[in-house]
Structure 1
Amino acid sequence: MLNKKLELVAKYALKQGLKINALRSLSTTLSTSISHKHHVVKEPLVYRNIGQELELTVSKYGDVEAIVSCHEGKRYTFKSLLAEVDRLAAGFRKLGLQQGDAVGLWSPNYVHWYLGMLGAARAGLTSVGINPAFQGPEVAYCLNKVGLKAIVAPEIFKSQNYYEILRGICPEIADAEPGKIKSEKFPHLRSVIINSETHLKGALRFDDLLDLSNRTEQEEIGKYQTKISPELPCNIQFTSGTTGNPKAASLSHYNFVNNGIHVGNRNQLEGERICVQVPLFHAFGVIITIMAGMSKGATLVLPAAGFSPKDSLAAIVKEKCTVIHGTPTMYVDLVSAQRELQVPLGRIKKAITGGAIVSPQLILDVKKVLGVESMRSVYGLTETTAVIFQTLPGDDEESVLHTVGHLQDHVEVKVVDADGNCVPFGQPGELCVRGYVTMLGYHGDKEKTEETIGADKWLRTGDQFVLQEDGYGRIVGRLKEMIIRGGENIFPREVEDFLNAHPQIVEAHVIGVPDERLGEEIVAFVRLHNDVDPKSFTVEALRAYSKGKIAHFKVPRYVVPIDAFPKTTSGKIQKFKLSQMFENNKKN
């Protein structure tokens, strides 16, 4: 529509004999009224692979601690890290893995995950993050979906025995020599590597993999980096789908390195020590944390293998952490733990959150209860290498509370209506993204890739979004989550933000459920403070509280107090499970 208007303007202008400069000025005025931005900055994008980025970091920050694993008692400087990574990369190649082969990393936050991801990158392999909570059928899907040649896992974490799960879906492991698995069900799988002190049938110990190569073979890894194109895949992320099987988003070295650099720049990570609460396998862990930290020589501190607010507080104190990484639900639990324990935390400069929408009330709570100087948000998708928008250094409180930050460096975005036309600034529509952050595609799924990324390279996010003329943005909600109640469009985000400011509510999440009369009704699941009687928190009480503060049609019809929300390992609320819980309660 806009292009047609400009064409008509141009024809009219030429007829009237207007000068070309005046025409350009008029074109610019018209074009700047639509929701489109391309944020170009002075610092250029780089053409390096992950291995080369690590070498550059070692040259700058070699004696700085790269990672500290509190629960394992392990520490690596960037210099010692590179040596260990190359031992692992050479071990992978000694096993027969070749450039482009996929290696699964199925583990909570252990150092072997971190080494595995970097070792795979230095060997020219593609690492595949697998949710450590996955069970046999889910792991079987992952093995075949991307043709995993090898998989790295711990032996046991909590009640989960990873080795026995693998044997359960692939019995041939127990009868095979390490590195020579042959399975009709999993034709690509050759090696199972277990981080264990025990020798397990058919599996190779992680420490033995490190010792598999000699010094010459390890030195060859450094020379091999010039043969790994930055445009090649380096990682596959399984999307956290709520229906059906997850899709496998393929990301490149170029995606990883550049997004890491610009996230690191925005978050001013140089010299910082980061308390890492997020799982490493997730995009928040691998890009916003590992790659951004690497680009600035920051130290990653792992408090525990799985998220534990008490362990996080202890690690912040012991390791003098100055930055915290976590999802909104992690911060909810961290704030609750700190209110109870009152730990003297020291100076925390920044708390960085992403992975889900964060409410303004939670931001205020984090700053007040944890004593954080600056709260920063990142927003993006797995398919966009984690970050599209991000808080700028020095942003005022209004921007932090009510936007997801400013458009990321060198990224282009637009907001469109249902017909694909750009809407004016300040109006909601679907956010589309183009640039170095967009994934290569969904592995083995051309149809889904083409649904998501058009021939013009615009990636459709599925998020209802508002873009401001100054480059800041706001999430309205997921298009698929929008509730239509009696003809009124309601986004759960708005109702959740309102409920999260209620003095008796710790955390609230909203879903829509079918209703014969209105089409859909609103259900609010609420986690209350410990001193609040759930029986007293009624719909009537909520209506009274809401009067004059929010439109009547946005007030939930049903309120369900809940002790804990069902979450993915990456900290996202599983709203489909809330729907199932509501339906089951109705039946009972």
Structure 2
Amino acid sequence: MMSKKLQTATQLFYKNMLRAGSKQHSHCVMRCLSAQIPANVKAHNFNPAHLHHIGKSALVYRNVGQELERTAAEYGSTESIVSCHEQKRYTYQSLLEEVDRVAAGLLKLGLEQGDHVGIWAPNHMHWYLTMLGAARAGLVSVGINPAFQEPEVEYCLKKVKVKALIMPETYKTQNYYEIIKCICPEISNSSDGCIKSTNLPNLKHVIIDSPNKLKGALSFDDLLGLSNPAEREDISKMQRHIVPDSGCNVQFTSGTTGQPKAAVLSHYNFVNNGIHIGNRNQLDSNSRICVQVPLFHVYGVVITVMAAMTHGSTLVLPAAGFSPADSLRAIVDEKCTVIHGTPTMYVDLIKKQRELQLPLKTANMAITGGAPCSPQLFLDIKNVLGLDHVRTVYGLTETTAVIFQSRPGDSMEQILNTVGHLQDHVEVKVVDAQGHTVQFGEPGELYVRGYATMLEYYDDEQKTKETIGNNRWLKTGDQFILEADGYGRIVGRLKEMIIRGGENIFPKEIEDFLNSHPKIIETHVIGVPDERMGEECCAFVRLADGVESITREEVKEFAKGKLAHFKIPRFVIPINEFPRTTSGKIQKFKLAEEYNKMYK
């Protein structure tokens, strides 16, 4: 426990730091504490892991629609998006015109500011147009995973009271229209695109991007043709009435237990995170981004769409869903300079490039996020794809995507062993189990506060309060190490921590180590029950091409002198493909189910 004198000194120190934080210059407040801490505090080596990084460029107070207008005015003739699989292209000027047709069409259907518009689709052009159109109309877009089945979609539509749903007719084996008919049977007897559903009382309209006339639904072309020129001109006038602090988008969290929560993100969140992400990635009107990530996910809609839009960059959609071969061909054909993907996607992209050996001459940067990336994978991305730069982003859905990110000029050590530097205008601290701030370099749970924090979990006051306290600190649930220079490292998810005989083990450390084994290209570690130790480590490994097997003894020998004995997995299980979400995250609960099938 702190003495009263130490507590008083600490409070005085924080008060002075808070004042310092109001100065408009770029540095990390509380970066180097030793020179400013009272003597009695120094004696206790008190160096709290608490930073507030004030950026060089100020935050802006604009909504998404205003930002799109600004970009169209500055980069009107630059391509905003290219959909290779649909053979469609828009410049920023033609995009703005089409987006306003969508916005005016949605309002013509009777939707009002604040209403929710669901987008249940893979990476199609209508996804991009609808998200921006909803924002221009003062509506809230709701990203729904295109892989979701009937009960999952029903939950999403009910949870956030979706009023209009936009989707394709089919994608791969998924028939969206047939699924909606099961949830909302009244659609078959509806006319003029107006639905009255007992099961989904809030759903009034279903819009389908299809050339076919489907009972009860409007086509996307119908939506585009609903408004007249005067109504479309009114969309521009509306922008000053759409408050940047209001909701813009709902993201369903990809939890592994229970129903997903619905995080509400604002225009202010979107625009500013997009600006600062793009600044760090040095995007400009010459940047052409190969988009492998799904647009519905926060990686797609903020790190990709908003960062590109705020900097006049071009998005290239290689395929409706992730396809390594299509991505590589799009990089070549569309002269992409930047690649976006999750670690799992890069594993597959590297494998395909080793096979195809395409000339990726224009690509010079890869951005990875969505899940931790091992140092070995970073090196493979750089070397196999022939890139000059590999950068990482780290954040959560609830923080509008990014709170740590690589910076231009970062050393290889910083790129390989950290998640980057604290983002501009974001405040963080690392706390122990009792909520006390730990020292720099010590592990604890990462807390975040600042402009990027979500508004709330929709219609879930209790969960919102559990995640964001009255002081607006958001609890990430990530075990994290923060250094005084502003760089950080993920130790692992608190909920994934393995306790083996009293020893705390974080899977990421073992995963990164095993990924450097010549026989292994990807590893994911889980805790499994053990009568004696409580839990044991089980490693599921994906083997390199041509490798048929690997034994625990091989792993044990490889780890000798490099990894503590209690961290060496008790079980090593080869697997052909890892179960993952559409956004690329590994579903570890399914690995646990696989283990149970094998050993119980």
- On whether the aligned pair clears a TM of 0.5, the verdict is yes
Aligned to 1:547: 560
Amino acid at match of 1:538: T
Aligned to 2:299: 284
Aligned to 2:461: 446
SS at match of 1:368: helix
1:511 partnered with 2:529: no
Whether the aligned pair in 2 keeps the contact of 1:496 and 1:510 (CA below 8 Å) is yes
Aligned-residue offset at 1:438: 0.4
CA distance in 1, matches of 2:447, 2:142: 26
Aligned to 1:25: 36
Whether the aligned pair in 1 keeps the contact of 2:332 and 2:362 (CA below 8 Å) is no
Aligned-residue offset at 1:24: 9.4
Aligned to 1:162: 176
The change in CA–CA distance for 1:189 and 1:545 in structure 2 (over 3 A counts) is same
Amino acid at match of 2:598: N
1:395 partnered with 2:410: yes
Aligned to 1:212: 226
Amino acid at match of 2:373: V
The change in CA–CA distance for 1:364 and 1:4 in structure 2 (over 3 A counts) is farther
The one of 24, 46, 58 equivalent to 1:44 is: 58
SS at match of 1:26: coil
Whether the aligned pair in 2 keeps the contact of 1:178 and 1:192 (CA below 8 Å) is no
- TM-score normalised by L of structure 1: 0.96
Amino acid at match of 2:399: T
Question: Pairwise mapping of residues 112-511 of structure 1 onto structure 2 (< 5 A)?
Answer: 112-270=126-284, 271-511=286-526
Amino acid at match of 1:38: H
CA distance in 1, matches of 2:352, 2:10: 63
Whether the aligned pair in 2 keeps the contact of 1:65 and 1:78 (CA below 8 Å) is yes
CA distance in 2, matches of 1:480, 1:550: 22
Aligned to 1:34: 48
Whether the aligned pair in 2 keeps the contact of 1:86 and 1:218 (CA below 8 Å) is yes
1:81 partnered with 2:95: yes
Amino acid at match of 2:590: K
Aligned-residue offset at 1:26: 3.3
Deviates more, 1:25-34 or 1:324-333: 25-34
Whether the aligned pair in 1 keeps the contact of 2:501 and 2:533 (CA below 8 Å) is yes
CA distance in 1, matches of 2:535, 2:363: 44
Aligned to 1:71: 85
Amino acid at match of 1:556: P
Aligned to 1:18: none
Aligned-residue offset at 1:552: 0.9
Aligned to 2:569: 556
CA distance in 2, matches of 1:586, 1:564: 20
1:577 partnered with 2:590: yes
The change in CA–CA distance for 1:12 and 1:443 in structure 2 (over 3 A counts) is closer
Amino acid at match of 1:285: G
Deviates more, 1:294-303 or 1:175-184: 175-184
Aligned-residue offset at 1:169: 1.0
The change in CA–CA distance for 1:32 and 1:197 in structure 2 (over 3 A counts) is farther
1:319-342 deviation digits (Å, cap 9, x = unpaired): 000000000000000000011111
Amino acid at match of 2:556: R
The change in CA–CA distance for 1:543 and 1:81 in structure 2 (over 3 A counts) is same
CA distance in 2, matches of 1:438, 1:65: 31
The change in CA–CA distance for 1:243 and 1:26 in structure 2 (over 3 A counts) is closer
1:484-521 deviation digits (Å, cap 9, x = unpaired): 11111110000000010010111110000110000000
5+ residue gaps, structure 1, are 14-22
SS at match of 2:477: strand
Amino acid at match of 2:568: V
Aligned-residue offset at 1:179: 3.3
CA distance in 1, matches of 2:187, 2:289: 38
Identity fraction in percent: 66
CA distance in 2, matches of 1:421, 1:163: 52
SS at match of 2:36: helix
Whether the aligned pair in 2 keeps the contact of 1:6 and 1:27 (CA below 8 Å) is no
Two-structure CA RMSD over aligned residues (Å) = 1.7
Aligned-residue offset at 1:42: 2.6
Aligned to 2:108: 94
SS at match of 1:415: strand
- TM-score normalised by L of structure 2: 0.94
Amino acid at match of 1:292: A
SS at match of 2:383: helix
Aligned-residue offset at 1:548: 1.2
Amino acid at match of 1:259: N
The change in CA–CA distance for 1:421 and 1:202 in structure 2 (over 3 A counts) is same
Amino acid at match of 1:468: E
Amino acid at match of 1:183: S
Pairs aligned (count): 576
CA distance in 2, matches of 1:32, 1:202: 66
Whether the aligned pair in 1 keeps the contact of 2:447 and 2:474 (CA below 8 Å) is yes
SS at match of 1:550: coil
The one of 571, 580, 592 equivalent to 1:567 is: 580
Aligned-residue offset at 1:62: 0.7
The change in CA–CA distance for 1:151 and 1:4 in structure 2 (over 3 A counts) is farther
Whether the aligned pair in 1 keeps the contact of 2:246 and 2:267 (CA below 8 Å) is yes
Aligned-residue offset at 1:386: 0.4
SS at match of 2:532: coil
CA distance in 1, matches of 2:189, 2:339: 45
CA distance in 2, matches of 1:219, 1:79: 14
Q: Which runs of 4+ in 1 moved over 6 A?
A: 10-13
1:99-126 deviation digits (Å, cap 9, x = unpaired): 0000000000000000000000000000
CA distance in 2, matches of 1:265, 1:410: 13
CA distance in 1, matches of 2:35, 2:383: 50
5+ residue gaps, structure 2, are 14-33
The change in CA–CA distance for 1:4 and 1:432 in structure 2 (over 3 A counts) is farther
CA distance in 2, matches of 1:356, 1:78: 31
Amino acid at match of 2:181: R
Aligned-residue offset at 1:9: 4.5
CA distance in 1, matches of 2:158, 2:403: 31
